[in-house]
Structure 1
């Protein structure tokens, strides 16, 4: 199995050319309006939601406020798919669409926090559609017996990685997330260049990391507060030594960025697929031919 990581492309107004998700979470901030404490507004320039902290709030621009009059809450619904935060999804009844024109080579896309029955990726070169694939999101990995096949209910995959499409500079990539009568959701979308780092050696580990609060009060009663979880992936890659510099450059390129990683090749992914960041990487060099490179990644909530 080969380990892949995406060099993520930043998605701004220059890349996102259209979407069916309206940017109307709250009214647009107006300089002449007087806002009471608790009032919420948006800015379509920063694509952020702000909440007034004071009464008689007038003439104070939330985009440049020092935090005394306005509190920045989150990005707007349309832009939540690109805010490096999977737990705050973009939501739209029935269907979410995005049209993106890459400003760099883009041959892979990864979507996380999906609620959808199907996913469609189209690539356009001007008026010519040069790629069109639909992916059903039903996940049969939860079928472990005849009973679960007939009575276990339909389980849908929450993430999907697609690579190898012709997303060259200037092409338009159309993404359609179809929930067909339900609420469609997507937590985060990563577009970028796919990089194969090396072959995964045996015994990688995926550790569950709980962020929930678990304790006891003064009387010994349990205190349980659910706060989500993440995963820590610890693996070793076998890389031809002459490619050591290439691997180091790729790791440096994605350092500090929310990106996608996954396994390719024959066999299951064993849970080594996610949205996260490189936490630690070392490269002992074996000049004889191939080197073993330890790599640790952590997923985002």
Structure 2
């Protein structure tokens, strides 16, 4: 099994050329409007949602405020699929579409926090469609017996990695997330260049990390406060020593960025797939030919 990681590109107004997700979460902020505490507005310049924390709030631009008049809540619905936060999902009835023109080589897309029956990726070179694939999002991994095949509920995958398509500069990539009759959702979309780092050695570990806490009410009774969970992936890669510099450069390139990682090959993924960041990487060098590189990645909620 090979370990892959994406070098993510930023998706801004320059790359996002079309979408069916409106940016109308709340009214646009107006310099002449008076807002009371709790009123919410958006800025289409910053693509953020703001809430007034004072009454009689007039003429105070939330994008320039120091927090005394406005509280920044989150990005707008349209941009939530690109805010490096999987749990803050973009939502749209029936279907979400994004059309993106890459500003760097982009041969892979990883989508997380999906609610969808199917996913479609198209690539256009001018007016010619040069790639078109649709993926059913039914997760057959939950079928573990004849009973679950016939009587188990349908389970849909929440994430998908697509790679190997011709996403060169100037091409347009169309993403369609379909949930007919329901609400389509996308938590975070990573687009960029796929990098194969090395072969995964036996006994990688995937640790479940709960962020829930135990609290107490006024009478001393225990209360569980649910706060979600993440995973910590600890593995070792076998890499040809002459490629050590390449691997170090890729790790440095994705440092501090939310990126996607996954296993490729004939075997199963064993849960080593997700949205996360490189937490630790060391490279002991074996000049004999191949080196074993430890790598730790932490996922994002």
1:81-100 correspondence runs (5 A): 81-100=81-100
1:126-155 deviations in whole A, cap 9, x for unaligned?
Answer: 000000000000001000111111111100
Matched, 1:288 2:288: yes
1:73-84 correspondence runs (5 A): 73-84=73-84
Which 5+ residue runs of structure 2 have no aligned equivalent? none
1:273-300 deviations in whole A, cap 9, x for unaligned?
Answer: 0000000000000000000000000000
Distance in 2 between residues matched to 1:215 and 1:267, nearest whole Å: 42
1:76-127 deviations in whole A, cap 9, x for unaligned?
Answer: 0000000000010000000000000000000000000000000000000000
Matched, 1:208 2:204: no
Matched, 1:6 2:13: no
Distance in 2 between residues matched to 1:242 and 1:220, nearest whole Å: 61
Q: Deviation at 1:220?
A: 6.0
Contact 2:215 2:225 in 1 (8 A): no
Contact 2:115 2:183 in 1 (8 A): yes
Q: Deviation at 1:219?
A: 6.2
Alignment CA distance shift 1:54-1:219 (3 Å): closer
When normalised by structure 1's length, the TM-score is: 0.99
Matched, 1:190 2:190: yes
Distance in 2 between residues matched to 1:201 and 1:188, nearest whole Å: 29
Q: Deviation at 1:47?
A: 0.2
Distance in 2 between residues matched to 1:208 and 1:220, nearest whole Å: 29
Alignment CA distance shift 1:217-1:65 (3 Å): closer
1:218-257 correspondence runs (5 A): 221-257=221-257
Q: Deviation at 1:217?
A: 6.0
Alignment CA distance shift 1:220-1:68 (3 Å): closer
Distance in 2 between residues matched to 1:27 and 1:220, nearest whole Å: 44
Contact 2:199 2:239 in 1 (8 A): yes
1:229-249 deviations in whole A, cap 9, x for unaligned?
Answer: 000000000000000000000
The alignment of Structure 1 onto Structure 2 pairs a total of residues equal to 301
- Matched with 1:60 is 60
